[in-house]
């Protein structure tokens, strides 16, 4: 049986989806391991070979364990028990993730013509002041705003962001992509909509072209365009 000492470095809570283990984020790793061994080994041993496994989510609080430490935790929970660790999550954001979110929230600004054969990329939104020639590729994880004429290939939301938009002063014989969808401007857009136009994915999951003013209603979260459209 568990000793009489107050064990609070590992708190186990039952949910409708299984168990959640909350680990103290201010004690030593060794203290967590010792208490985890004691609580799990006594309370959650398999009683039958065909007994279904219980899914477990592990919360580490404001603490980021190393890969080796995580493997140690998983090994203890799953060893000789009826528990199966689904994931370990932390309230701490690693540097790589923080950097990615910062980059995706920024607008990369470029001034100049993008010539045939050139490739321009942005980790977030992209503002390009200049033309995009045929044979050029411009793509961004977020939205793309172009003050100029588009004749090349423009791909917004290229990592799967379906609410990304493309807005341009003029679109001519261009190929437009948003997320996983692609459309040719000349085949999809009437001449009167080629100037001051935008492209977005509509409710039918198709790329639609329209005047740039519609973005206020379609994408009200584009606050960085406030006062422009």
Cα(39)–Cα(176) distance, rounded to whole angstroms?
Answer: 57
> So what's the pLDDT on residue 8?
82
pLDDT at 109 over 90: no
Q: Per the domain annotation, does 95 fall within a domain?
A: no
Report which secondary-structure segment, H or E, holds 168: strand 166-171
pLDDT at 44 over 70: no
Confidence (pTM): 0.55
> So what's the pLDDT on residue 144?
93
Q: Per the domain annotation, does 38 fall within a domain?
A: yes
Range of the domain at 200: 102-225
| Residue 197 near residue 214, CB atoms below 8 Å | no
Q: Of 22 and 154, which is predicted with more confidence?
A: 154
Residues 124 and 213 in one domain: yes
pLDDT at 150 over 60: yes
Residues 51 and 27 in one domain: yes
Rounded percentage of the chain residues whose pLDDT exceeds 90: 25
> So what's the pLDDT on residue 80?
63
Q: Is 107 exposed, middle or buried (0-12, 13-18, 19+ CB in 10 A)?
A: middle
Domain boundary among 68, 89, 110: 89
Q: Of 220 and 34, which is predicted with more confidence?
A: 34
Q: Per the domain annotation, does 178 fall within a domain?
A: yes
> So what's the pLDDT on residue 1?
41
Rounded percentage of the chain residues whose pLDDT exceeds 70: 77
Q: Give me the chain's average pLDDT, please.
A: 80
Cα(157)–Cα(199) distance, rounded to whole angstroms?
Answer: 12
pLDDT at 115 over 50: yes
For residues 173-194, give the mean pLDDT: 76
Residues 53 and 156 in one domain: no
């Amino acid at each position: 049986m568990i000793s009489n000492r107050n064990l609070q470095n590992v708190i186990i809570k039952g949910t409708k989806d299984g168990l959640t283990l909350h680990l103290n984020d201010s004690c030593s790793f060794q203290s967590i391991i010792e208490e985890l061994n004691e609580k799990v080994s006594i309370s959650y041993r398999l009683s039958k070979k065909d007994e279904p496994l219980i899914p477990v989510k592990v919360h580490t609080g404001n603490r980021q364990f190393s890969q080796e430490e995580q493997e140690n935790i998983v090994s203890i929970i799953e060893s000789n028990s009826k528990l199966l660790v689904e994931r370990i999550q932390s309230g701490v954001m690693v540097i790589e993730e923080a950097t990615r979110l910062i980059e995706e929230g920024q607008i990369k600004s470029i001034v100049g013509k993008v010539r045939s054969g050139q490739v321009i990329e942005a980790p977030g939104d992209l503002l390009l002041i200049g033309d995009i020639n045929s044979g050029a590729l411009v793509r961004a994880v977020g939205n793309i705003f172009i003050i100029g004429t588009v004749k090349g290939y423009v791909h917004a939301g290229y990592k799967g962001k379906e609410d990304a938009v493309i807005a341009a002063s003029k679109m001519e014989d261009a190929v437009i992509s948003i997320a996983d969808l692609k459309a040719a401007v000349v085949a999809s857009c009437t001449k009167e909509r080629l100037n001051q136009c935008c492209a977005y994915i509509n409710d039918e999951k198709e790329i639609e072209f329209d005047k740039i003013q519609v973005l206020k209603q379609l994408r009200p979260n584009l606050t960085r365009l406030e006062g422009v459209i």
